[in-house]
Amino acid sequence: MNENLYKYILGIADNCLVLGQRLGELCGHGPSLETDIACTNISLDLFGQVRSYYQYAAQVADDGRSEDDIAMLRREREYVNVLLVEQPNTDFAYTITRQYLFDAYHLLFLNELQHSNDETLSAIAKKAIKEVSYHERFSSDWLKRLGDGTEESHRRAQDALNTLWAYTDELFHQTEADQAMIEEGIGVDTMKLKEIYNNQVSELLKEATLEIPESKWFQKGGKEGIHTEHLGYLLADLQYMQRTYPNMEW
Partner 1 sequence: MKMVIELAHIDEELIPILEKVSDPEIPVLSILEMGVVRSAKVSGKEVQVKITPTYSGCPAMDVIGDDIKTALNKAGYSTKVQLVLSPAWTTDWITEKGRKALEDYGIAPPLEPDADKEALLGNKRIVKCTNCGSTQTQLVSQFGSTACKALFKCEDCQEPFDYFKCLK
Binding region for partner 1 (CB under 8 A) = 34-35, 37-38, 41-42, 44-49, 51-52, 119-120, 122-124, 126-128, 130-131, 134, 137-138, 141
Rg of the chain in Å (alpha carbons): 18
Comparison of 47 and 218: residue with beta carbon closer to partner 1: 47
Sign of CA dihedral 204, 208, 213, 219: negative
Least Cβ distance, residue 104 to partner 1 (angstroms): 17
What sign does the dihedral 178-183-188-190 (CA atoms) show?
A: positive
Q: How far is the CB of 122 from partner 1 (least distance, A)?
A: 8
Q: With contact defined as beta carbons under 8 Å apart, do 175 and 12 qualify?
A: no
- Tell me whether residue 83 or residue 128 sits nearer to partner 1 (CB atom): 128
Shortest distance in whole angstroms from residue 46 CB to partner 1:
7
Where do the H-state alpha helices sit in the chain? 3-24, 33-61, 67-72, 83-86, 92-113, 119-147, 151-164, 176-183, 191-207, 230-244
Of the two residues 77 and 137, which places its CB atom closer to partner 1 in the complex?
A: 137
Nearer to partner 1 (CB atom), residue 111 or residue 179: 111
Residue count (the chain): 250
Beta-carbon contacts of 211 under 8 Å, excluding residues fewer than 6 positions away, are: 158, 161, 205
133 or 198: whose CB is closer to partner 1?
133
Closest approach, Cβ 202 to partner 1, in A, equals 21
Provide, rounded to whole angstroms, the least separation between the CB of residue 178 and partner 1.
23
